[in-house]
Amino acid sequence: MTYSAHDLAVILAASPLMLSISKPRPEQLRAAIAQQARNGGLDAALAICSYDMGRYPDAGRRRLAAARRLVAQLGTQYFQSAEEELDDPRALTVYQPFADLIAWADKRIENRTRRTHWRGSLLIHAGRQLDQSPIARELSAGRALPGVQGAIIATARVVGCHRAQQDTTGRWCCQPHGFPLFWHWELADICPLARPVPAIGERNLWKPKPQQLAAVRAVQAGA
């Protein structure tokens, strides 16, 4: 599923529905989640809930509790079709060779200086810049990687995010692809594209244009 029960409750709590006063029908709840997700997704919902908790702590807590109860009553599976409708992909520009290591090798951690609350479909965009650091050369050594730049080369899903941690022996987690002191974005369901889709990247998470999404889907369909 794109969202966990907690994520769904946060999105629902950020919606305009009067959860504690009225008794919304299940289809209203699903529509509210879909609409709120289209209006900014989990990041926006978290910002709204954080604001409410800070300014109106009692009301904010009651609203989130009511949202959790409603999600628990219906179950996350009920919202599956709504999630698929609203699964509005984002894209992430990754320098080579790290983009290829995600698409064609075993890299399932993307290192970033900021955390992300985004969960869902992600397009992997290979940036035009080549990382020539020693770690980049080490991780790509001996691999026959395409090296395409300036194009979307794979699809994935962001399924989690955590800060790099050390175990009791001092070893950092997620080796060899997870770097110390960074936020580790957890990736899954990697699917390289048979044909790259040219695109200009942006900083941080970015929203692909409709024509870019259409081109990616055409490649996936074998067109």
Rounded Cα distance, 50 and 43, in Å: 11
Task: Compare 27 and 147 and report the one with higher pLDDT.
Answer: 147
Q: What pLDDT score does 149 carry?
A: 97
Identify the CA nearest to 85 among candidates 37, 29, 16, 155. 37
**Domain-ending residue, one of 37, 71, 86:** 86
Tokens 């029908």, residue located = 25
Residues 127, 147: one domain? yes
Rounded Cα distance, 122 and 205, in Å: 9
pLDDT digits (tens, 9 = 90+) for 43-96: 888 888 888 888 888 888 888 998 898 888 888 777 754 444 445 789 999 999
Residues 109, 77: one domain? no
Band of residue 20 on the pLDDT scale cut at 50, 70, 90: low
Q: What pLDDT score does 37 carry?
A: 67
Residues 66, 104: one domain? no
Residues 53, 9: one domain? yes
Which burial class, exposed, middle or buried, applies to 195 when counting CB atoms under 10 A from its CB (0-12, 13-18, 19+)?
middle
Q: What pLDDT score does 80 carry?
A: 59
Residues 95, 141: one domain? yes
In the predicted structure, residue 117 carries a pLDDT above the cut 60: yes
Residues 113, 79: one domain? no
pLDDT digits (tens, 9 = 90+) for 31-57: 777 767 666 677 888 888 888 888 888
Q: What pLDDT score does 85 carry?
A: 42
Task: Compare 39 and 131 and report the one with higher pLDDT.
Answer: 131
Indicate the average pLDDT of the chain.
86
Q: For position 208, which CATH number holds?
A: 2.30.130.30
Rounded Cα distance, 74 and 79, in Å: 8
Element (H, E) at 186: strand 183-198
Residues 61, 18: one domain? yes
Rounded Cα distance, 122 and 113, in Å: 18
Residues 71, 100: one domain? no
Name the residue range of residue 177's domain: 90-220
What type of residue sits at position 61? R
Q: What pLDDT score does 189 carry?
A: 85
Query: 184 — phi, psi (to 5°)?
Result: -100, 110
**Domain-ending residue, one of 86, 112, 144:** 86
CB-side exposure of 15: number of CA atoms within 13 Å?
Answer: 24
pLDDT digits (tens, 9 = 90+) for 187-219: 988 999 999 999 999 988 999 998 999 999 898
Residues 183, 212: one domain? yes
Residues 96, 77: one domain? no
* pLDDT-above-90 percentage for the chain: 44
Residues 101, 20: one domain? no
Residues 167, 68: one domain? no
DSSP single-letter state for residue 208: P
**Domain-ending residue, one of 69, 86, 103:** 86
Please count the structural domains in the chain: 2
Which burial class, exposed, middle or buried, applies to 86 when counting CB atoms under 10 A from its CB (0-12, 13-18, 19+)?
buried
